[in-house]
Amino acid sequence: MTDIRSVGKFEYRAPISLDEALNILRTSGADARVLAGGTDLVLQIKQGQVRPSLVLDVKGVPELNRLEWSEPDGLHIGAAVRLNKLLTFNAILEHYTMLAQACSVIGSVQVRNRGTMGGDICDAAPSADTAPSLMCLGAKAVLASGNG
């Protein structure tokens, strides 16, 4: 059985723009953690693997919820877009079948209803199911931090 310990105190912030999120990160400590769907992070906090002083919930950041496709520009997936949303996005089903297949095998319906591709990649587990298809499709990650 999983050993669930008491969760230490941490500050919780839920910014509503990318600028606000980056400003908070700029002034926070190195132990701050970004929260997307929380399917990995919440468990890690409960198990005491990470003890963040700040949890920054990015689900409400519009820039990170962008999901767009166009013929010339291709596919843009915001880091906070949930996996189940990707699985109902026609452009992915039509043009990125490999990615749709990868998303469809992640966890369960409940996990896909909360989890994001951003979280799958940032968690950096060797078993992350979306990583191989993203590499095969030549995906590029757009990174931002409080310092640029």
Ligand X SMILES: Cc1cc2nc3c(=O)[nH]c(=O)nc-3n(C[C@H](O)[C@H](O)[C@H](O)COP(=O)(O)OP(=O)(O)OC[C@H]3O[C@@H](n4cnc5c(N)ncnc54)[C@H](O)[C@@H]3O)c2cc1C
Site residues, ligand X (CB under 6 A) = 33-41, 43, 58, 79, 105-107, 111, 114-116, 118-120, 122-123, 127-129
Q: List Cα–Cα distances, 101 to 37, 71, 110, 144, in angstroms.
A: 20, 21, 17, 28
Chain position carrying tokens 């990125």: 96
Decide whether 15 or 39 has the Cβ nearer to ligand X: 39
Q: Taking the complex as a whole, how short is the minimal distance between the CB of residue 66 and ligand X, in angstroms?
A: 12
Q: Taking the complex as a whole, how short is the minimal distance between the CB of residue 107 and ligand X, in angstroms?
A: 3
DSSP E strands, the chain: 11-13, 33-35, 54-57, 67-70, 74-77
Decide whether 5 or 71 has the Cβ nearer to ligand X: 5
Q: Taking the complex as a whole, how short is the minimal distance between the CB of residue 68 and ligand X, in angstroms?
A: 17
d(CA 35, CA 90): 27
Decide whether 69 or 133 has the Cβ nearer to ligand X: 133
Helix, strand, or coil here: 128?
coil
